Structure 1
Amino acid sequence: MSVFSRVQSMAATILVNPNRGLLSNAVPNRNFLFLQCPTFRPFSLSSSPIPSDVCQVTHATKNDMDVLLKGISDRSLVEQIKHILDMANRASLRREVLHTDFLTPPILNEAMAALKKLADVNAIPNGGYLEAERCRLSVGHPEVLRTDPDTVAALSITGNFGYQPPTHGDFLGSILGTGIAREKLGDILLQGEKGAQVLIVPELVDYMISSLDKVGKVPVSCTLIPLEELEYEPPSTKTLKTVESSLRVDAIASAGFKISRSKFSDLISKGDVRINWNTVTKNGATLRTGDMVSVSGSGRLKIGEIITTKKGKYAVELIRYL
């Protein structure tokens, strides 16, 4: 085994071995009754002709890894994607299914793109509900990973929040205060006075039920609920239109976020702007219908219908998430 392979294997072991994770070795595995909630269809390229940029997992080399990682726009994510690819390699070779912790949208997006280049791997993201942002990723050989695995559990956190409903940060801070690591948690769905619903890895359900007794100063109780009882409300949006001479991100998005074009360019320079969860590095990046632009601290903007006017300009529909 090459030095590269040994390093990759060690890194993957650290990522996927639950006994290395915070608290996971203190909480025994248990079986919980909760319903499956498939969020994506699995993909497999094993039955299709293999193009030149698709790698056979069983013969992965350093050059293959370079091919798989080609095109990742945010270089800070490379090591994490390498870990996931190595996990996929091990899962395929051993005919087993392995799961990541909850991944952020940028990591999930890049990992899915890289995994599609593998010829004998299925990959299924699951965040507990259809539009979840933070998802776990299950990988395995197509012969063993055929259906969505149960990798996510849901908890309802209730308390007397009638006077001042807690924020997302209040719930997150209280949960992390019990010692549970952030990567073991998925989305937190606020329910106003009722409290919140939280997605979590199943093996930490009992620990959280016994450990989380307050959010802020309000006593709370945690209850395991089926995924089908999640109460997700789509975010509020506002639709507006702009007419621009180009589809450059600095032109379109600055209009959508209602900030000056020069200030938006500064945000790009600082790495605060993403298109489809990928960091933007150039003002001249162009947008298409369906693209999602996010700006740190300012929210998200979806690009709707684009129509070319008689004068050769672009009338763009913008959907701003409030």
Structure 2
Amino acid sequence: MDGVYQHFRPEEQPFIDAASGWIVQAENQYSPYLTPFIDPRQAFILQSLISKNSEFMLVSLLTHERQRFLIKPDYFEENEADYQMCLFSIRYPSKFSNLSHPEILGALMNIGMKREVFGDILNVGNDWQFVVEEEVANYVQLNLTKIGKVNIQLERLPFTGALAIPDDFEHKFVTVSSMRLDSVVATVLNISRQKVKIMIEGGLVKVNWQVVKQANFECTENDMLSVRKHGRIQVLEQIGKSKKDKLKLNVRIKG
């Protein structure tokens, strides 16, 4: 595995080990393996591992950020039921109450849900939805009756009823002096590097949904950066160097 580890971060080794085990199980049984919900960076790593085996592929049902994937052999034709997921719509008195992403996330965690058993929390206007593993769906429906002080009910929906989330990310090409976290954030958001360093050390910046307090943290492809009050940046790819030997990046930005 050392040859694989060298292409990724040391802290990603536990996920690499788990993902490699999923692939081995799919190969040994020559049948699909269903993953838990994983984030885009983890999906990138998993796809990188699978690409070494031409007989298997990675497929998903939805186009959300956090997804549940099937590692499947070429012959297998999947259907919706194979993903073993449930889509819930949150019913609440929207004329008198408001919900927020942090409140819904906190409510799910408070009833004992681990992050890998549910996907994105979707929102358009006053409508809120989320996806969970089918195995825990009944438990969630029985126990999630309040979000904050708001009484709610959960309604199961077919996946054809999933909210269409607009892709309001803006594509942008930038040149950075390095892949350091402070350099990437400062350049993309046009903020001074010193100010960004203070923000990072103050815990205001996340990489792949985890707080990173080291300004010299090295970013890489498919990293999702979240900067409090400034939005999100997804590093898509490095596309060479400029004439001044700076790195050219393709990124997506959402304010």
TM over 0.5: yes
Pick closer, same or farther for the CA change 1:292–1:105 going to 2, 3 Å.
closer
1:220 is aligned to 2:152:
yes
Q: Match for 2:225 among 294, 297, 304?
A: 294
Q: 2:112 maps to which residue? A: 179
Pick closer, same or farther for the CA change 1:101–1:259 going to 2, 3 Å.
same
1:261 is aligned to 2:193:
yes
- Match of 1:86, SS state, is helix
Q: 1:16 maps to which residue? A: none
Shift of 1:241: 8.6
Higher strand content, 1 or 2 = 2
Pick closer, same or farther for the CA change 1:284–1:224 going to 2, 3 Å.
closer
Pick closer, same or farther for the CA change 1:70–1:147 going to 2, 3 Å.
farther
Q: Match for 1:98 among 5, 10, 33?
A: 33
Per-residue CA deviations over 1:229-261 (Å, capped at 9, x if unaligned) read 11132254568897x6x6645656413323212
**Which residue identity lines up with residue 159 of structure 1 in the other structure?**
Y
Q: Match for 2:78 among 121, 133, 147?
A: 147
The alignment's TM-score, normalised by the length of structure 1, stands at 0.60
**In terms of mean alpha carbon deviation, does 113-122 or 247-256 score higher?**
247-256
- Match of 2:11, SS state, is helix
Aligned partners of 2:132, 2:118: CA distance in 1, in Å?
A: 5
- Match of 2:38, SS state, is coil
Q: 1:157 maps to which residue? A: 90
Larger Cα Rg: Structure 1 or Structure 2? 1
Report sequence identity in percent: 20
Aligned partners of 1:300, 1:108: CA distance in 2, in Å?
A: 18
Aligned partners of 1:292, 1:71: CA distance in 2, in Å?
A: 14
Shift of 1:227: 1.0
Aligned partners of 2:183, 2:248: CA distance in 1, in Å?
A: 12
**Which residue identity lines up with residue 112 of structure 2 in the other structure?**
G
Shift of 1:164: 3.7
Shift of 1:320: 3.0
Shift of 1:85: 1.0
Q: Structure 1: any 5+ residue segments left out of the alignment?
A: 1-64
- Match of 1:100, SS state, is strand
Q: Report the count of equivalent residues.
A: 243
Shift of 1:150: 2.8
- Match of 2:108, SS state, is helix
Q: 1:31 maps to which residue? A: none
**Which residue identity lines up with residue 10 of structure 2 in the other structure?**
R
Q: 2:22 maps to which residue? A: 87
CA contact (8 A) 1:251 1:261 kept: yes
Aligned partners of 2:234, 2:215: CA distance in 1, in Å?
A: 19
Per-residue CA deviations over 1:146-172 (Å, capped at 9, x if unaligned) read 435333321111111323411111111
Q: 1:23 maps to which residue? A: none
Aligned partners of 1:286, 1:82: CA distance in 2, in Å?
A: 21
CA contact (8 A) 2:87 2:132 kept: yes
Aligned partners of 1:310, 1:102: CA distance in 2, in Å?
A: 41
1:107 is aligned to 2:42:
yes
CA contact (8 A) 1:91 1:139 kept: yes
Q: 2:59 maps to which residue? A: 124
Shift of 1:173: 1.6
RMSD: 4.1
Aligned partners of 2:60, 2:178: CA distance in 1, in Å?
A: 31
The alignment's TM-score, normalised by the length of structure 2, stands at 0.74
Per-residue CA deviations over 1:159-213 (Å, capped at 9, x if unaligned) read 113234111111112222222222111000124434x111111222222222221
CA contact (8 A) 1:121 1:139 kept: yes
Per-residue CA deviations over 1:28-56 (Å, capped at 9, x if unaligned) read xxxxxxxxxxxxxxxxxxxxxxxxxxxxx
Q: Structure 2: any 5+ residue segments left out of the alignment?
A: none
Q: 2:7 maps to which residue? A: 71
Aligned partners of 1:318, 1:92: CA distance in 2, in Å?
A: 35
Aligned partners of 2:33, 2:50: CA distance in 1, in Å?
A: 14
Pick closer, same or farther for the CA change 1:230–1:203 going to 2, 3 Å.
same
Aligned partners of 2:18, 2:85: CA distance in 1, in Å?
A: 21
**Which residue identity lines up with residue 151 of structure 2 in the other structure?**
P
